[in-house]
Structure 1
């Protein structure tokens, strides 16, 4: 092929054995290298790993050191897709490299949702910041909070996506603080806030055309899941899980959600009064009810005298008052999905008119919004269907989860005969009992394998060791472009002749020009 060589590097966790992939990276960190003659351009898309990953700091510092060595200490462009730790935490773990002068950053692209001069963005961030603060209180609740007993049960591990990461100084950086540092890294006029429909060129010696597909500005920004009836709710109305959670965290704000079936004057049997009531056969109606409740739901006593029904030693087993705490998981999941939907989605144009699609963690509404407008690019008017049909490389959304790769308006339209997919995941880590996530989800993985005819590159296993690809014919061209010899990353040559990858810090061995099909 004529034109520049374009290689995408997907980082993964360093391997204890260079001959076998043992860890992936449940997080996104992609480095695009563009080279022609002596000219080089480098684009970094996200840099993060999920909170709780073993030696997350060591992993991300090794990644940052490799980035610095590969790009020669300068990144022409850094793109931060959205505010999740698994996409941004590396900037905190290696803050001294990214913000201390080791790596110069020429330009930064962020979604419009991060623009401090955009009223809609400010309103959205205020809403998200409030929700994140609520999650922080759930993760470390007041001892008297209803959540104090088992906060992780309520959050289902989703707080890992919002957690802060320690910087080199020992301070901790939230995802918002990381975005602030990225804003300050280049010159002030080199920070761009982008939304759907923008068409521009990447900076650097060898520019690429870029079409911004998302995030949208309309109600689709809050459509996280497909529904049969299309009657989604996009805010947190009274009585919603968010309102219930916030009420539980603030005992002074009595029944703000309005969920109680009783009028305020009828709410006489409080837990404190039930626990405090003494046995009294002559008690009035209210105290008699309190005695009955205390005996059956609070006391370690039989519900009735032994002569009238037997001996039940512990009545607390009958209580369900803590079961509602799991509703907080729905609140956490909604915030997680809404944040994913703010992902900056970009299709990079290759010299022959094909595209590389980096979808961040875009959810259903973000994907659907791509089809609501035309894109004027290179003298042509393109639809989202046109762009998807010409997509040669797809960076799989949200580590291959079930709801971040749209079907009819997404993968089904990716009909390029040479389609390759790259998925950053660590399936074993995601499936740990504390999380129980399917990443990649079985149906998503099967669809990706069929769409790519087995050209699915995973961060947690080498292609040649992946039993899932055995049912598909091996492609000599694909194998010649795939370099899995490094222990910290995998390279794929998207455009240009297949060549050896340069040796970089933290790797074991350089790339090879080609491999025979297994």
Structure 2
């Protein structure tokens, strides 16, 4: 079977967001057109001086693909990964452009399955998937919390904007609000019947050989709840995080990153219609009421926990082509990674050639156990040295109130520079649309 000989990765300037166009090029003798995969397209804020817009990025993607996309991957539902898929009523939105490229498949995590029943734990094993029920309650409940937080901030009686963590609370809240236009577009852009939408999970059989000749695509995450319940929570501290000794002390001293280990992926919602809280369905009104009653620090703890749970639904894809492996983990955090790292698929990581840095370089999305498996790490000059790509914007998220949670995390960036060839979108000039990384697959 013909195999691609070159991979091109365009890392677009998204500020705090992700957008990567992965292109596989074949030997001209094989008479095969290039194959194009768009991995995420979203932002929660561009650099102040940038000249780049979502519309300009969409237009460039269309040009690079010569008018046709093969696959769209939306790793998870956060705004900084899907806002570019939003459409406009005039049909000229960035999402309309992507839709017009007629992708053959759309890949999303199993948690996005449109007819998943409340409390669904995902496919019962890696080979079968039962029929779905009417609707997904879990994501709606999580996003109801986020909407209530933003509504509270917008009220005249909301929090004093001088509160040191007000900006962070708004950022996390807005990132978790449902982007209805983008979500609906993703559900139908590969066909109105949804048959070309693939909802994936750890170890599932993702056979794309007819679309990507000579390319194997391994799904390392997320696990289903039947495989691991860990994605329902997150750890406030871990030896796998990129802390320093002083950072641990600072984290322990602040409530800014308060964790809630209760299950929030599939909450069991009970109707409490005694509240007059919102326009939400009856069974969700208690959520808004609790948010309205919460103190600022408690509210930040709630939305931080929800934010982490959403990150832990991220798709982790490893592309194997020729002699090279390319790893794209979305925003997967430790809990998502933990299942893959203890599975039979873990050895696939040993010889990864390119790593898309998780969650814009946060302290908990590049677990040290995972990083240490990447054997092509090494000093400058090492043959076949690991390459890494990070899409990020400093000062947008984390690091407030003395917590060692700034994104990108300093110790991690230092390690990435020392042990890999780091391509960072922060290094782009205001007019630059993207960085281009080319990899010889032979």
TM over 0.5: yes
Q: Deviations over 1:136-163 (max 9, x none)?
A: 2222239989745559867643443553
Partner of 1:286: none
- Gap change, CA 1:367 and 1:147, over 3 Å in 2: same
Deviation (angstroms), 1:425? 0.8
| Structure-2 residue corresponding to 1:200 | 206
C-alpha distance in 1 between matches for 2:409 and 2:276: 34
Counterpart position of 2:332 = 362
Q: What secondary structure is seen at the aligned counterpart in 1 of 2:54? A: helix
What's the counterpart of residue 109 of structure 2? 111
Give 1:431 deviation, angstroms: 7.7
Could you say which residue in structure 2 is the equivalent of 1:503? Answer: none
Pair 1:224-2:234 in alignment: yes
Please tell me whether the aligned partners of residues 106 and 198 of structure 2 are also in contact (alpha carbons under 8 angstroms): yes
- 2:23 maps to which of 19, 22, 33: 33
- Asked whether the equivalents of residues 172 and 304 of structure 2 are also in contact (C-alpha less than 8 Å), the reply is no
Supply the distance in 2 between the matched residues of 1:54 and 1:93 (Cα, whole angstroms): 24
Q: Structure 1 residue 220: deviation in Å?
A: 1.4
Q: CA deviation at 1:450?
A: 2.9
Distance in 1 between residues matched to 2:171 and 2:47, nearest whole Å = 10
1:461 aligns with 2:389: no
> Relative to 1, partners in 2 of residues 1:143 and 1:117: Cα closer, same or farther, differing over 3 Å?
closer
Task: Map residues 375-414 of structure 1 onto 2, 5 A cutoff.
Answer: 383-384=345-346, 386-408=347-369, 410-414=370-374
Is the counterpart of residue 160 in structure 1 residue 183 in structure 2?
Answer: no
Q: Write the distance in 1 (CA, Å) between the matches of 2:154 and 2:70.
A: 48
| Pairwise CA distance, 1:53 | 6.1
8 Å contact from structure 1 (residues 424, 459) kept in 2: yes
Which SS does the other structure have where 1:356 is aligned?
strand
Distance 1:79 1:496, change over 3 A: same
Does the 8 Å CA contact 2:4/2:321 hold for their aligned counterparts?
no
- In structure 2, the residue corresponding to 1:86 is in which secondary structure? helix
Q: Say if 1:236 and 1:345 are closer, same or farther in 2 by CA, change over 3 A.
A: closer
Is the 8 Å Cα contact of residues 260 and 301 (structure 2) preserved in structure 1? no
- Kept in 1, the 8 Å contact 2:165–2:401? The answer is no
2:384 corresponds to 1:424? no
Structure 2 counterparts to residues 8-407 of structure 1, below 5 A = 8-12=9-13, 25-36=15-26, 37=28, 39-51=33-45, 59-92=53-86, 96=92, 97-99=94-96, 102-119=100-117, 120=120, 125-141=136-152, 147=158, 149-150=160-161, 156-161=167-172, 163=174, 174-187=178-191, 188-202=194-208, 204=211, 206-217=213-224, 218-225=228-235, 227=237, 234-235=261-262, 324-352=295-323, 354-374=324-344, 383-384=345-346, 386-407=347-368
Counterparts of 1:226 and 1:435, CA distance in 2: 15
Distance 1:440 1:67, change over 3 A: same
Given that 1:147 and 1:325 are in contact with CA atoms closer than 8 Å, whether structure 2 keeps it comes out as no
CA contact (8 A) 1:48 1:91 kept: yes
* TM-score relative to the length of structure 2: 0.72
Aligned residues: 370
Paired residues of 2:214 and 2:321 also in contact (CA < 8 A): no
**RMSD between aligned residues:** 4.1
Give CA deviations for 1:293-343 in whole Å, capped at 9, x if unaligned. Answer: xxxxxxxxxxxxxxxxxxxxxxxxxxxxx9942221111111111100000
CA shift at 1:126, angstroms?
2.0
Q: Which residue of 2 aligns with 1:491?
A: 436
Unaligned runs of 5+ in 1: 14-24, 166-172, 238-242, 258-321, 375-382, 463-483, 498-518
Partners of 1:324 and 1:220 in 2: CA distance: 28
Match of 1:299 in 2: none
Change (3 A) 1:492 1:355: same
Cα separation, 1, equivalents of 2:436 and 2:263: 43
Which residues of structure 2 form unaligned runs of 5+? 123-132, 240-258, 265-269, 279-284, 377-383
For residues 213-242 of structure 1, what are the alpha-carbon distances to aligned partners after superposition, in whole Å with 9 as ceiling and x for unaligned?
A: 11112211124226569xx963269xxxxx
Q: Secondary structure at the match of 2:174?
A: coil
- In the TM superposition, residue 359 of structure 1 has moved relative to its aligned partner by 0.7
The offset of 1:432, in angstroms, is 9.8
Contact 1:393–1:421 (CA under 8 A) maintained in structure 2:
yes
Moved over 3 A (4+): 51-58, 93-102, 121-125, 142-156, 158-165, 226-229, 247-253, 428-437
Judge conservation of contact 1:6–1:32 (CA < 8 Å) in 2.
yes
Shift of 1:125: 4.8
The structure with the largest alpha-carbon Rg is: 1
Kindly provide the CA deviation profile for residues 387-426 of structure 1, in whole angstroms up to 9, marking residues without a partner as x.
1111110000010011111012x10111125211100012
User: Is 1:154–1:327's contact at 8 Å kept on the other side of the alignment?
Assistant: no
